[in-house]
Homo-oligomer: A and B are copies of this chain.
Amino acid sequence: MNDTIKSIATIMKDLDGILLFPHINMDGDTLGSCSALCLALRSMGKKAYVMINEPIPKNLDFLEYGCCTDDDSLLDDVQLSLMIDCNGMNRITGREKAWERGRLKGCIDHHATKAKEIRYDFARIEPKSAAVGEIIYNIIRAMGVEISLEIANCIFAAITTDTGNFQHSNTTSRSHEIAGHLYKIEGFNSKSISALIYDRRSKEAIRLESEVIANLDFYADGKLAVGKVTQELLRQTGTTMDEADGIIQKIMSIDGVEGGCLFKEAENNVRASLRGRSYANMAKAAAAFGGGGHTLAAGCTFHDLDLEEAEKALVPVLIRTIEER
């Protein structure tokens, strides 16, 4: 029961005082989509903010464009609270009070599962859209707002990050069509955006990745690759655990690897990120240890085992998972 792009555009044109909510653990799609819509609303003379309560990831800092705040008192009257790239209260934790201020509630999302606890005044969920940025692009156009260079940058960042640079299977003809339109905006060039997103990894983070990759263990004739991020390695390389993002993707780019596992040793537990390439049911393997996820991307957490014990417990299960073709 989706509202149409046109009806959402019509509603938004009549409102003023709008709070936009990206999901926790912000990514390029949620932040790019929020900023794009915020800039579009402001260009119509409206008051709008993107409500955040966590630092913006460093590689996405340029997407802020003066839109983000943690202070909802900047608006006297909130006519609309709008979730972007999410649709449940557990995705906007810490911002519940600001959310409740909206006289109307809405959501624009592409995640198929819809939370039941909220009664939305309007909602549009497009599971087939690779990025919410694609939906936002359509709404901005339907509101009659010109796509500025800043808006174009936001939309491109949203689409390119959520499609894995147009390589993931969620990419559609529409993703490319919209990107093609962005190139027609004066001054637009993807290079400057992608350099900001991708070419600012710290030397420490790159070194961390290199150390993990250089010390991978292989099992099952090279079909299973297992890496470890220990507290000691974080100390040695001067990094924090969030800088380990992306290492599992690197593991999965190795020829012949069907299953990948990255252990992350935290203060009080050990977390394992699991990936399959084509058939390995990693969700099932994770479930054996109380974890879960999708078939090809899952995870589990060990609370009472140290890293070595967790490895001894999990690796045999992963080998079986991979051999169970």
Contacts and interface: CB of A to CB of B under 8 A. Distances in A.
Contacts of A173: 180-181, 183-184
Contacts of A189: 169
Interface stretch (A118-126, A198-206, A284-292): A198-206
Contacts of A1: none
B206 A213 contact: yes
B198 A171 contact: no
A82 to B, nearest CB: 28
A238 interface: no
A98 B53 CA distance: 66
A207 B199 contact: no
A209 B183 CA distance: 34
Contact of A177 (B180, B218, B256, B257): B180
A232 to B, nearest CB: 15
Per assembly, the copies of the chain total 2
A273 interface: no
A134 to B, nearest CB: 12
Contact of A213 (B165, B198, B207, B253): B207
A158 to B, nearest CB: 14
Interface residues of A, number: 48
A172 B183 contact: yes
Interface string A71-85: 000000000000000
Contact of A203 (B168, B169, B202, B255): B255
A189 to B, nearest CB: 6
Contacts of A160: 166-167
A191 interface: yes
A176 interface: yes
A183 B165 contact: no
A211 interface: yes
A189 B252 CA distance: 19
5 contacts: A172-B183, A173-B183, A200-B253, A203-B216, A203-B256
Interface of A: 160, 165-169, 171-177, 179-181, 183-184, 189-191, 194-195, 198-203, 206-207, 209-211, 213-214, 216, 218, 222, 225, 250, 252-257, 277
